[in-house]
Structure 1
Amino acid sequence: MPEPPGSTTESAQAAVPDVPEKPSPPLSGDGWRRLMRDLGAPRKKRTAEQDRGLFELLRQYEFRGPAYDIVMDNLAGAARRIMLAGIRNGSVFAECARIGRPVTDEGMIALLQEDAGEREEVVAELLAVCVPRFKRYALVDGGWKPNGGASLQTFLVGALVRELPNTFRKWARDHQRNKPGLTDPSRLSTFGRTPATDPVLHAVTADQIERALAGADPGIHVIAEMIRLGYPWAEIAQALGIGEKAAQQRWTRFTRKIGKIGKSDGNGNGNDESDEGGQR
């Protein structure tokens, strides 16, 4: 029996050919000259007139093709540098709080500020989310106005800042799911028996470690596990993607939160003071 007109069966759908996307028009010689003129010097702030020229050029070429790719690479590269620096020095989090979208997990903020690899991961995710939105809402739909006051760069960075709390929460959840399970009592009890390289582990009970680790960031879990297994600080630091001194400082701050360790070591650093044999 023949299919009725307008049928949406799989066979009817398969018969409908895909419509190829119209190719973007080639960039003319004048287009290239306008592009290079309005992009300006590397890492130098563009004028409002240059931004207006770029926008008009992109609109002429339907926000596709080589001009669009080059402009977005330029904007995204600058936005990446701004966000990496802002996360590291805390100014981005201050801006999030100012606009009513605070990020409040101090432990995870500290990890992000200390770990360059994690910052790169978060900013890359931000750009993956925000650049397509920027194209649609700011450029194609006309959300960005040449006479609106904000530059193209500021408009994109503002979008990244507004999205940061969402991306930050997702990143933090992923870390919590993937961190080592050191709160398992059967594993924690080995701290008191294993000849670890850090003598502070011999001064605390498994229960104390479990309570302290419950509120610690994932980096501390990694440090604790590697210390338990006898890794040197150089390898611990390499695993975290930070310097050896920074890794030791993170561990020192953690041990200071455990009262018994603080009392047994007057300067709060279990790595600097030991008996002649190197173990207590």
Structure 2
Amino acid sequence: MGATNDGGDSEKPTVDAEQLAWDTVNWEEVELANFRGLPWDELIDRLIRHALPIMRSAMSSGKIFTWCRERNAMIRLSRPDPWLPQDQEDLAFRSVSTAVQHFVKAAREGRGWSPAGGATMSSFFLGLCISAFPNEFRTLLREQKKRHHTELSEDTAIPSVPGPEEAVAAADEMNRLLDGIAPEQRRALLAKANGFSHAEIATQMNLTPRAVEGLIYRGRQQLSAFGEADK
């Protein structure tokens, strides 16, 4: 296939031979379709569903910083104080969304996942998520610093920050709502929430920007409808 396994895995687990064989068959199928179409979208959705809860747990425990140092000793990130639940949630989504972009781009350029690398596809993708974290973390810190300076210069009151229980409840509610929409809508909404433009999302999903706009619009409409139904 001419691909290299440059994503790696986070903790070098024992390789699941059965899963690796299944991944190989699945990869050959989507490769024949040039990494486009419904099977490809479903594969991406499965990877997101696998990686997102792991990343969220690693954010909460602080293990993400250990993983980053293990992968690259030059990375000297540490848990900030405060380490707010909403920041953890935001970074988990950002890292996974960025990993999706890299995963899709690498696959279409012939340098994506390969069984020869020895890692299952889910481990490979999780490695991409972890690799994406440092830049997303630094970006978040810069954004927070900029907002803080803006608030001080405008002499405005700093908004109250939701407590941990409120943040966790909000995250759980959003995940429940996301489970109720179609995979392609969920993928478009996640990418949009993490700052990708319609054009960038369109490239990832092999759609037109107008089609992406429609997915996001319909996804938001469904989320609103689900939320209203629960009231």
The bucket for the TM-score relative to the shorter chain is 0.5 to 0.7
Taking only the aligned residue pairs, the percentage that are identical comes to 22
In structure 2, relative to structure 1, the CA distance for the partners of 1:181 and 1:64 (3 Å cut) is closer
Residue equivalent to 2:44: 72
2:69–2:75 contact (8 Å) kept in structure 1? yes
Q: TM-score, normalised by structure 1?
A: 0.47
Residue equivalent to 2:165: 243
Q: Deviation at 1:181?
A: 6.6
Q: Deviation at 1:140?
A: 4.5
What letter is aligned with 2:96? L
Q: Is it true that 1:102 corresponds to 2:75 in the alignment?
A: yes
Residue equivalent to 1:137: 106
Q: Is it true that 1:122 corresponds to 2:91 in the alignment?
A: yes
Unaligned runs of 5+ in 2: 1-15, 167-231
Counterpart Cα distance in 2 of 1:75 and 1:183: 41
1:96–1:102 contact (8 Å) kept in structure 2? yes
2:29 alignment partner, one of 57, 79, 102 = 57
RMSD: 3.0
2:91–2:136 contact (8 Å) kept in structure 1? yes
Q: TM-score, normalised by structure 2?
A: 0.55
Counterpart Cα distance in 1 of 2:71 and 2:137: 16
1:63–1:140 contact (8 Å) kept in structure 2? no
Query: C-alpha offsets along residues 205-229 of structure 1, whole Å, 9 cap, x if unaligned?
Result: xxxxxxxxxxxxxxxxx8xx67xxx
In structure 2, relative to structure 1, the CA distance for the partners of 1:78 and 1:163 (3 Å cut) is same
Counterpart Cα distance in 2 of 1:126 and 1:78: 13
Q: Is it true that 1:93 corresponds to 2:65 in the alignment?
A: yes
Shift >6 Å, 4+ stretches: 180-184
1:130–1:159 contact (8 Å) kept in structure 2? yes
Query: C-alpha offsets along residues 136-166 of structure 1, whole Å, 9 cap, x if unaligned?
Result: 2246514322232111111111111112111
1:138–1:144 contact (8 Å) kept in structure 2? yes
Q: Is it true that 1:48 corresponds to 2:17 in the alignment?
A: no
Unaligned runs of 5+ in 1: 1-44, 188-221, 227-235, 245-280
In structure 2, relative to structure 1, the CA distance for the partners of 1:243 and 1:120 (3 Å cut) is closer
Greater relative contact order, per chain length (Cα 8 Å cut-off, separation 6+): 2
SS of structure 1 residue aligned to 2:164: coil
Counterpart Cα distance in 2 of 1:165 and 1:59: 30
In structure 2, relative to structure 1, the CA distance for the partners of 1:181 and 1:63 (3 Å cut) is closer
Which structure dedicates a bigger proportion of its chain to helix? 2
Counterpart Cα distance in 1 of 2:145 and 2:79: 14
What are the residue-to-residue correspondences of 1:1-280 with 2, within 5 Å?
47-100=19-72, 101-108=74-81, 110-111=82-83, 114-115=84-85, 117-138=86-107, 140-179=109-148, 236=160, 239-243=161-165
Residue equivalent to 1:278: none
SS of structure 2 residue aligned to 1:102: coil
Counterpart Cα distance in 1 of 2:150 and 2:105: 43
- Whichever of the two has the greater Rg, that structure is 1
Counterpart Cα distance in 2 of 1:91 and 1:160: 13
